[in-house]
Chains A and B, each alone.
Chain A
Amino acid sequence: MKYSYIKPRNKSLLTPELQLLFVFFGITIFMLFTTYAFLLFKDYRFTQDRLDIIEQREETSDEIDLIENRITFIKEEQRLSEDVFTKNTVLKDSISNMFDLVPQRITLSEAKLLENGLVLYGITPNKDIYNFMLQAPLRSIFHRTYSSFYPAQNGWLRFVSTNYIDKEEEMFEEVKKDTQDEDYDEEIEYED
């Protein structure tokens, strides 16, 4: 049975001292958990950074491989370009030499450079000048030389000179040259 006019207040264990204690411990636990969470986060970030760096290293390694391949390719290109440049230089020199062969009295109207030959079109005052001054050097260079003439309107002769270098012959000559060298070596050995 209740006798009082009013109801008693709810009694709680949380006295001001206990509240202070709980607040203190609460703050401490909060700070501990915050620190733990911070460390977890840092650990996660570190793992992520490590993975990123590994990935970056792999990417860099791939890029290095790619760059090395490109360098090799560029070096090859450079070598090829140097080859082409050398060939062009040789060709230029050859053409220059070829034009040096043409005497002043003969005029070339067209020249065709073939893989293993040379076709010259031109005009000469007469056959002798052509034979002595142009054909002779051409014959020394090419294996086969064919010339044909037909008269021009001014009395001069138009000519077509077709010159070939036979590769088989060239190879045969090289082989022949090699066998001669071997015979010579044997002779030397025999003499010894």
Chain B
Amino acid sequence: MFSKFYESFYLKVLVNIVIGPTKTIVYIEMLNKSGLVNSFEEAFDTKYLSTEMYEFIHNYTKESPYFYISILDNSLSQGAIPTCSKHKTGYFHDLSASEYKCYKDQWTYYTAKTDVYAIEKVYEKIGVDFIFSPFLILANFFKDKVETHLAMFILVEEGTLSLSIFDNAKLLYSDHLDMNIEIESDDLIIDDHELEDMELEEDDSIDLDDIDTIDDIDELDDFGDIADLDSIDELDEFDETKDVEEELAASEDEEDFPIQDTDGLNEDYQRFSLIQSSVNNFYQSEKFESEFIENVYVGDGVGVSSDLKKYLEEEMFLNVYVRHVDLAVELCEITKMELS
């Protein structure tokens, strides 16, 4: 009680740290009883607590005894499962070595205990008050859509993707994807293509005897189904699933935060590949309740190029809506929710 009373005399300093593979963003908000007093943001070219970062944070935390340091969890072993029941969690993931929290008695997000300890150890000098899951930011950022839509929601962070599929606030599937790990596999894929090309070059001539034309003609009968595509009603229905409001908002967003057109190709394709494989996993796995996804909402925390949207639309026939998200600010919002 006295603590709350004293707290009202001091500024509340919220330090939010988003750790990326190459840089760390520190966003600080200073609040008083009436609201925001000041905010500061600084990016540091390190993924650990450097002297400059310590000085920057300490400069503000010394202003008030009531300061809270929040970190966005960047663990690779994190995720979310569509149940809160302890009996069912084991079906989706073994949580014995994980820290986990239940979100509104609907779904559970988790991370590896060792990674939590690692974060606490790295930031031991300034201390850590909160560690939040990116899935929490995703659910909070797209709160208006999550609770009323069946869609896929993707939070694009630097080097990682947090993907989840919600059906009217019910989590169906989630996956945390790391781009750095997949790079190696992509390289391998490319290597395979190269090998195939090399093989093709070797076999210049095509053996016509190998082509079994008569058998393949039967398969062509299936093209008769093309007539079904003429049913325009279904196409209209397909169009109705489009979120016009979100499209409008996305176009405005593009003006405010111009999407990168160059240099993002490889990364975006990589992201697309990861999303595609994850969605395949969702459709194929029997663990998850499968629903057909038509819309995808992308929370862009790094400034992806328009290619990602293009890939998703053209390759996966999804309606894609991109919203720019400032991860540090959203982290701060979660901190405020936690403190309130």
Query: Which residues of A line the B interface, CB within 8 A?
Result: 1-6, 8-9, 11-15, 17-18
Contact = CB atoms under 8 A, between A and B. Distances in A.
The DSSP consensus for interface residues of chain A is loop
Given A2-B338, A4-B131, A13-B6, 11 more contacts: A3-B132, A4-B129, A4-B130, A5-B99, A5-B111, A5-B116, A5-B131, A6-B116, A8-B129, A11-B3, A11-B7
A178 B111 CA distance: 145
The DSSP consensus for interface residues of chain B is mixed
Contacts of A17: 62
Contacts of A18: 65
B68 interface: yes
B104 interface: yes
Given A11-B65, A15-B65, A5 B334 contact: no
A4 B65 contact: no
Interface of B: 3, 6-7, 62, 65-68, 70, 73, 99, 101, 103-104, 111, 116, 120, 127-133, 136, 334, 337-338
Given A8-B129, A8-B130, A14-B65, A3 B338 contact: yes
Contacts, number: 53
B266 to A, nearest CB: 33
Given A9-B127, A9-B129, A11-B3, A3 B65 contact: no
A8 B68 CA distance: 8
B334 A3 contact: yes
Nearest to B6: A13
Contacts of A13: 6, 65
Given A1-B104, A11-B66, A13-B6, A6 B128 contact: yes
B73 A3 contact: no
25 contacts: A1-B104, A2-B101, A2-B338, A3-B132, A3-B133, A3-B136, A3-B334, A3-B338, A4-B70, A4-B131, A5-B99, A5-B101, A5-B116, A5-B131, A5-B132, A5-B133, A6-B120, A6-B129, A6-B130, A8-B129, A11-B66, A12-B65, A13-B6, A15-B62, A15-B65
A34 B287 CA distance: 75
Contacts of B133: 3, 5
Contacts of A6: 99, 116, 120, 128-131
A174 to B, nearest CB: 114
B121 to A, nearest CB: 12
Nearest to B78: A5
A118 B6 CA distance: 121
Contacts of B127: 9
A17 B128 CA distance: 21
Contacts of B66: 11
A5 B101 CA distance: 7
Contacts of A8: 68, 129-130
A120 to B, nearest CB: 122
Contacts of B70: 4
A11 B67 CA distance: 8
A11 B2 CA distance: 12
A151 B338 CA distance: 153
A16 to B, nearest CB: 8
Contacts of A2: 101, 338
A5 B135 CA distance: 13
A26 to B, nearest CB: 19
B143 to A, nearest CB: 13
A14 B10 CA distance: 13
Contacts of B337: 3
Nearest to B10: A13
Closest 6 pairs between A and B when the two form their complex, measured CB to CB: A8-B129, A4-B130, A5-B99, A5-B131, A15-B65, A11-B66
A14 B70 CA distance: 21
A50 to B, nearest CB: 50
Contacts of A11: 3, 7, 65-67
A1 to B, nearest CB: 7
Contacts of A9: 127, 129
Given A8-B68, A11-B66, A3 B101 contact: yes
A9 B124 CA distance: 12
A17 B101 CA distance: 37
Nearest to B133: A5
A153 B73 CA distance: 157
Contacts of A14: 65
Nearest to A10: B3
Contacts of B130: 3-6, 8
Nearest to B99: A5
B86 to A, nearest CB: 17
Nearest to A7: B129
B132 A4 contact: yes
Contacts of B68: 8
A9 B126 CA distance: 11
